[in-house]
Amino acid sequence: MDAELESIPDDERLKDISGKTLNAKNVFTQVILYLKNNAIENIEKKSLLTSIESHTLWILIVPAIWTDTAKCFMKSAAKNMSFALAGISSERLKIVIETEAAAVLFRNLPMDGTGGKCLKDLNKGSVYAVLDAGVKKRDITLSKTITIVIGYTLRQLSKSKSGRSLEEAVAYFKYEGKVIAHNDKLRVDPCVPVSWYDYPIQRTVQLLSEMLGMTAMSNCTVILMVGGLSQSIVLQNAVKEKFPYKKVVIPPDAELVVAKGAIKFAYNPLSVQSRIVKYTYGSTHKYSESCSHKVGRRELDKNGDMRCYDNFVLIVKEDKSVPVDDVVDGSLFGPIYQTQNILTSEIFISTSTDTEHTTDSSCTKIGQVTFKIREEDFEKGFIYKHIYKFGGTEIKITTMNTESNEEMGEETEVEFRG
């Protein structure tokens, strides 16, 4: 099973450099709380607005590779009410995917930086790739010597630790002749910091090459580079040399593209009209004589009715393009004993398109849907089904009473925790 499919338990802990651990969700909650309060403080300081929190839409930007479990974890951290002022309600919190945010902003930006054709002017069906590179070292160039000012304290520390002056220590360094200490300065040949790029650039270009080699990307003509590192001449040159026949576009403020695009997306979510489903999703279902799947585990329930267990019932296949407003009906289910007041159905994902059982190695449980029912629902023989929306940045699940055709509404709770 891929590591990214693993669940994130509520008691997940993070370890600091000293070996101490803290609850992961609490750590993320505190970070979000700090950013939230800092934003409110700055807005209220620079405007006449007060008490803006009640009518503010908060945007949580996440990487495209994140799973439903990871998104749910971060959203739960943002909504964590155990910390004063930390809670953000679901109605005022929107998930936005980084690469989509960048693409939304790029729609109206000229691709040559000076005017002319924009992304939205490309022919219908055109394909482009978004390279989001946000780490450091972006200011290093291929030809400019780097000068670092050295303080007196550092010189003294060098001598006390190595028994040599800084000049002597540098002379014995592996970059002899390329790093020179002189008076209060350290001069570094550009080949030294450029060598720090070797691994990240090789991996970036390799992953980009693999992505462009996919069938769906075979007609890609444009590479959009965003994120702070995209301003690095070293990375830009590597991408251009590897893909000489692609149009490589880098905006002036590459590090701000995602943030600006996320705001535009929040105002107009339909600017992205469909998405590709990343995994094959499935659930289990109630047994009936019309069941055509291979036999898994079938047992009698408390009322003597036959039930299916461990059978993977397909909801939607991976790589399927799903419009934002499209809905998919799930399987039918209902209460199995009279005093039952809660119904729970499990959600699974698989890395295989032909999964038959939830116990297959390719399959893992990522969450569950829980909702409240009344005792009379059993007597009336009520049957329920879930309606799924896969086209958004998050999976939306609605539970329907098939007898009354009514939504269960607030009675339904969806958890992606595995």
pLDDT digits (tens, 9 = 90+) for 378-408: 777 788 888 888 888 888 888 888 888 888 7
In a domain, 342, yes or no: yes
In angstroms, what CA-CA distances link 304 with 89, 162, 336?
A: 43, 80, 9
Burial class (CB in 10 A: 0-12, 13-18, 19+), 273: exposed
- Residue that is written with structure tokens 């600017």 in the block: 271
Show the beta-strand stretches assigned E in 77-182: 93-97, 127-132, 146-149, 179-182
CA distance 129 to 261: 16
Do 177 and 111 lie in a common domain? no
pLDDT of residue 290: 58
User: Are 362 and 394 contained in the same domain?
Assistant: yes
The per-residue pLDDT for 85 is: 47
Instruction: Of 283, 345, 275, give the one whose Cα is nearest residue 315.
Output: 283
Same domain, 304 and 400: yes
Residue 152 shares a structural domain with residue 294: no
Q: Which residues of the chain have pLDDT under 50?
A: 1-6, 84-85
262 and 131 fall within a common domain: yes
Do 39 and 65 belong to one domain? yes
DSSP-assigned letter for residue 369: E
| Beta strand 93-97 pairing with 58-62 | parallel
* Residues 222 and 324 reside in one and the same domain: no
Both structure tokens of 110 = 């000229």
Looking at residue 116, its pLDDT comes to 64
**Which of 218, 241, 271 is the last residue in one of the domains?**
271
Give me the pLDDT at residue 244, please.
92
How many domains in the chain?
Answer: 4
The predicted pLDDT at position 240 comes to 93
Domain residues for the domain of 173 are 146-189
Asked if residue 240 and residue 153 are part of one domain, the reply reads: no
Using an 8 Å Cβ cutoff, are 229 and 204 in contact? Answer: no
396 within a domain of the structure (yes/no): yes
Alpha helices in 268-319 (DSSP H): none
- Residues 341, 382, single domain; the answer is yes
Position 93 in a domain: no
**Quick one: 295 and 239 in the same domain?**
no
Q: Coil, strand or helix: which one is 297?
A: strand
Q: What is the structure's pLDDT at 337?
A: 75
d(Cα 131, Cα 108) in Å, to the nearest integer?
18
